[in-house]
Amino acid sequence: TSYNFSDMQVRQEETKEELTNEDLDRRVDIYLTTTETLWILDMPSVVVSVESEDAEKVLERNRIYVDICKNRPDDDCFVEKMMQTLNRATKNKEMQCEKIIMEDKGMTATSWDLYDSFHVSEEEPKPKAEGSRATTGKMSKSPAAEEHDQTASVSSDRGGTTSIKISESAVLTRVHKEEECHSDAILTSENFQQNLFFMERILTENIFQPKLAAYRQFPVLTDPDVTPDTSGTVAAVKEAKQEKHEKEKEEEEEEQEEAFIDPSVLPDLNKTPEVIGAPRLEQLWSYTCDLTDGHSVSSMAWSKVNPDLLAVGYGAFVFKEQEKGLACCWSLKNPTWPERIFQCENSVTALDFSMASPNLLAVGMYNGTIAIYNVRSRKDAVLLDSSESSNKHTGPVWQLRWVEQDRDATGDGKKERLICISADGRVTEWLIHKRLDCTDLMKIKRTESKKKKSPGKKERKSEALMSQQAAGTCFDFHPKDTNFYLAGTEEGHIYKCSCLCSEQFLETYRGHKGPVYKVAWNPFSTDMFLSCSADWRIILWHQDSQTPILTFSSTPAFVYDIMWSPTSTSIFAATNESRVEIWDLSVSVFKPVISCFASPGVTFTSVLFAKNTDCLLVGDSRGEVSVFALQNLAAAN
């Protein structure tokens, strides 16, 4: 018999296990599990199937939204509101600490001071009673008693009197302490502080005497006791200045030759430069100190009573650059340090002195708060503020002003009121009682832009329909009738308003393509006013015409501030990012007669004419208020 091993292997694989009845009746549990679902890409759908259950709800909601969009322009129930939010840094954090100031202190000590200090530290208190020494005669004497016996001498030959010689070190120590106490009392006395204050003013006025004389248009006094060397130095300085002025004259003459000027308008220009020089700005000094360094000048205002007192506000206009502000009062008697310093929690954006109460200074801030300070007080405490008022502004206060208005029904005369305009679209009048509270003179709403009439549609009144509040930026009251005022907005429109009507604008002037930063009535020709904007332009308007009369644009830069000259009807000053300009409309309407450029990295922010003198004040982003004298600028008739 033969066997094949491969066949036997196949037979082994095909054999099956036989199950018994017990195995078939036994219960077997089987568990089925699924793995976790892994989502690689999830894009939620923005559409709904027509056959889904929510299809009808979505279609109904879309129809409602379309109806709302159609009826929105003609419905005043819909109002757009703006708010400012703080963009918090997620990764980068910055902190600011106080500057560490290093000081070196020293003192002079003589050999006598060292000797006295050494012996005073070794002295011990004397015995309390002499009876204790009598009962303890056998006891040893203390070092203090021995020193006392050595320094005491009894003289019986001179009438039985006893003279005690006190140690020299104790006398010098006592005298030194008395001198220190006396010197401290002198330094802290009010009379000494006041004398130092007057002495500082006298020294400062002596230093700035030539500049102050030029400011007040007085002749400059020369010292007759000047040495020959000093006089030679002064002569050299004068020659250098004269050469510099001659170069400036030649450059300005070349510019005048390039420009076309009517000879009948400028008869004085036919004269030689030796007779009449070219108009220019001469810097006298700058109001600046370590406290204001780096704070941008936001506003300036003269005192209504004291023409030598200037209030300057310091703060930032950009939301991301906000920091604590300052309001300083500068005097001509001391241009190196302010007379009053008021620390503010937010950036100062506007300020003005009161006429009825010259000691009150109103300050507007970036967070919408209005504060009133008393400049007579040496403390920087706030007299009144609007932080607790329920009607306070919710946006920056861009301008405020004390205005005298005759609006009393009893006819008691004019009363002074505080008016301000804010970015929340409100022109408010503040009432000063025990606390500050306000009423709205006007809520500025945006007007529809003028469009061409399309066929088949009715003409829509642009002045009647007002919706959406517009942010106010500036205002100015009419110089003769203070019931009327102009208000500029961020949308570029200028509105003529009345204090007697708070529901409707009297006129709307459309000409600017950017925010209007300043409007100013002409103080002499009261029907004309100027406006400047971020669209690089200055526009001259007539109140009875909605079309601009003249448009001035000398450089592609934002025009931040303008002001009419208080002595001429045709001269005004303007400041933009790179320079300050003096325009004389009787000379040229194409370019300014004077241009003064800013230093690299510095931006001019505000401009102000001086009172009772031909000077101009210019504030910049560095914290300086530069005082310029207007030279060879002939005033118009």
CATH number 3.60.20.10 given to 297-406+414-443: no
The H-assigned helical ranges of 259-332 are none
Among 248, 297, 249, 304, which residue's Cα sits nearest to residue 272? 249
Cβ within 8 Å of residue 213, ≥6 positions away? 219, 220, 221
pTM score, whole prediction:
0.62
The DSSP output letter for 212 is H
The neighbouring-strand residues paired with 237 are: none
Neighbours of 236 (CB within 10 A): 10
- 3-state SS record for 510-572: ECCCCCEEEEEECCCCCCEEEEEECCCCEEEEECCCCCCCEEECCCCCCEEEEEECCCCCCEE
Cβ within 8 Å of residue 76, ≥6 positions away? 467
pLDDT the model gives residue 345: 86
What is the mean pLDDT of each successive set of 10 residues along the chain, which is 637 residues long?
Answer: 47 66 86 86 84 89 87 70 74 79 84 81 51 41 42 40 50 74 79 84 85 84 56 46 58 47 38 59 91 90 92 83 86 90 90 91 91 88 85 89 71 77 90 84 76 49 54 91 91 90 86 92 92 92 91 90 92 91 91 90 92 91 92 64
Identify how many contiguous H helices and E strands the chain contains and give both numbers: 10, 32
Cβ within 8 Å of residue 485, ≥6 positions away? 419, 427, 475, 476, 477, 478, 496, 497, 498, 499
Give the CA distances from residue 15 to residues 11, 12, 22, 494, 552, in Å, rounded to whole numbers and listed in that order. Answer: 6, 5, 20, 106, 111
pLDDT the model gives residue 101: 85
pLDDT the model gives residue 633: 80
Distance CA 61, CA 50 (A): 14
Distance CA 516, CA 490 (A): 6
The DSSP output letter for 463 is T
Residue type, position 563, single letter: M
% helix, strand, coil for the chain, step of 5 = 20, 30, 50
Distance CA 110, CA 96 (A): 45
The helix or strand, by DSSP H or E, that contains position 472, with its residue range, turns out to be strand 472-477
Q: Tokens at residue 287, please?
A: 């109001």
pLDDT the model gives residue 224: 65
pLDDT the model gives residue 148: 42
- Rg for the chain, CA atoms, rounded: 42
Give the CA distances from residue 521 to residues 267, 405, 499, in Å, rounded to whole numbers and listed in that order. Answer: 29, 17, 17
Phi, psi of 112 (to 5 degrees): -65, -40
Distance CA 525, CA 635 (A): 15
Distance CA 263, CA 588 (A): 11
Distance CA 96, CA 423 (A): 29
Contact by Cβ (8 Å): 555, 252: no
The DSSP output letter for 423 is T
Cβ within 8 Å of residue 497, ≥6 positions away? 427, 441, 442, 484, 485, 486, 487, 505, 506
Q: Tokens at residue 557, please?
A: 């830069």
pLDDT the model gives residue 607: 95
Among 619, 627, 635, which residue's Cα sits nearest to residue 212? 627
Phi, psi of 410 (to 5 degrees): -80, -15
Distance of CA 292 to the CA centre of its chain: 10
Among 282, 213, 261, which residue's Cα sits nearest to residue 633? 282
Q: Is 488 exposed, middle or buried (0-12, 13-18, 19+ CB in 10 A)?
A: buried
pLDDT the model gives residue 532: 94
pLDDT the model gives residue 531: 94
Question: Residue 109: helix, strand or coil by DSSP?
Answer: coil
Distance CA 195, CA 216 (A): 26
The DSSP output letter for 25 is H
Tokens 């340090």, residue located: 337
Distance CA 415, CA 37 (A): 79
Among 363, 403, 397, which residue's Cα sits nearest to residue 473? 397
- Backbone CA torsion sign across 136, 140, 143, 145: positive
Angle between helices 168-187 and 111-122 (to 10 degrees): 110
- Backbone CA torsion sign across 317, 320, 325, 329: negative
Contact by Cβ (8 Å): 365, 314: no
